[in-house]
Amino acid sequence: MAQPIYNLHNHTPFSDGAYTIDELCEAHLACSAVPFEGIGISDNLFCTPSSREIQGERQFERTFASETRDYVETVHAARRRWAGKLRVFCGCEINWPLNKSNLGTIREMLNGIDYVLFEFVDWAGLTLLANQARRWPCPVGLSHVDVTRAFPTTSMDQVVRTMANARIFYEANTSLMPLADHERWFNTLPNHRVTIAIGTDTHDDLDCINQIAEIVRYLEEKGLGEKFLQPRLREEEPERTTVPQSASSR
Ligand SMILES: [Zn+2]
């Protein structure tokens, strides 16, 4: 039985996308080529131009906390509107070079975020991320990475092992089509426990949604059909720290 299909990479006007969450949901439901179970919104967080000049954790948090909360609330509201029709996940995309020195603070700011896509990660970044990926509160992965270009001096085997050991997922993105151009990488993946997200990086062109049919077909042909990322809604998780009133007020 085939796994549910999600397009986990869509931008909205919250960052630099042209279509609202409702418009994206409608477009995915209207797509006859793929029976979408749901979509993920993955707007860029922590990247207003000021983030380059931010000094220290407190200033970072003060700058981005309310923006992040607004975003999560907006996506969760859409999730409730579309319940029963389409599942809506709340992901985000994070620019690695811009944010690599604020990872500890960012990890604490991801309440309600179901998964994180990192873009523009280099090899030093991937090894750093691998060392801490399991400490993140949700799945983390690399968005639309052309492995040969991003890690030119590292073997594919080493890249895939690093990702597998750290449970960092890989995103098969329509921007890499035809995927056959990256065949060596897609022949390497089946031998390793790497989870694969599917995404379009939708900004202002909804046609890319139809291309997911081709991505799924290619991945299934490579024997990767059982490895698709199945995100979980983090608000479904039981409260982890339920401290009784009496114990917290000594
Ligand atoms: Zn993107």
Distance 148 CA to ligand 1 centre (A): 19
Q: How far is the CA of 248 from the centre of ligand 1 (A)?
A: 41
**C-alpha to C-alpha distance for 222 and 194, rounded to whole angstroms:** 13
Q: In this predicted structure, what is the pLDDT of residue 204?
A: 95
Half-sphere exposure of 62 (CA within 13 A, CB side): 6
Compute the distance from residue 43 Cα to the ligand 1 centre, in Å: 7
155 Cα–ligand 1 center, Å: 26
Distance 189 CA to ligand 1 centre (A): 22
**Tokens for 62?**
């003060």
Rounded distance from Cα 240 to ligand 1 centre (Å) = 31
- Residue 140 alpha carbon to ligand 1 centre in Å: 14
Cα(243) to centroid of ligand 1, in Å?
Answer: 38
| Residue 5: strand pairing partners | 36
Render each residue's pLDDT in the chain as its tens digit; 250 residues.
Answer: 478 999 999 999 999 999 999 999 999 999 999 999 999 999 999 986 655 677 788 888 888 999 999 999 999 999 999 999 999 999 999 999 999 989 999 999 999 999 999 999 999 999 999 999 889 999 999 999 999 999 999 999 999 999 999 999 999 999 999 999 999 999 999 999 999 999 999 999 999 999 999 999 999 999 999 999 999 998 744 444 544 444 444 3
Report the separation in Å between the CA atom of 78 and the middle of ligand 1, taken as the mean of its atom positions: 19
CB-based contacts of 16: which residues, under 8 Å, 6+ apart? 44, 203
- 69's tokens: 């909360």
Question: What is the model's pLDDT at position 250?
Answer: 36
φ, ψ at 232 (rounded to 5°): -120, 145
- Going from the Cα of 104 to the center of ligand 1, the distance in angstroms, rounded, reads 22
For residue 10, the CA-to-ligand 1 centroid distance in Å is 7
89 Cα: distance to centroid of ligand 1 (angstroms)? 15
Q: What is the dihedral of CA 71, 11, 168, 79, to 10 degrees?
A: 50
List of residues 6+ apart from 29 with CB closer than 8 A: 36, 85, 86
Separation of CA 42 and ligand 1 centre (Å): 7
d(CA 92, ligand 1 centre) in Å = 9
Whole-number pLDDT of residue 49? 62
pLDDT at residue number 52: 65
Q: Are 75 and 123 in contact (CB under 8 A)?
A: no
Residue with tokens 């006007």: 13
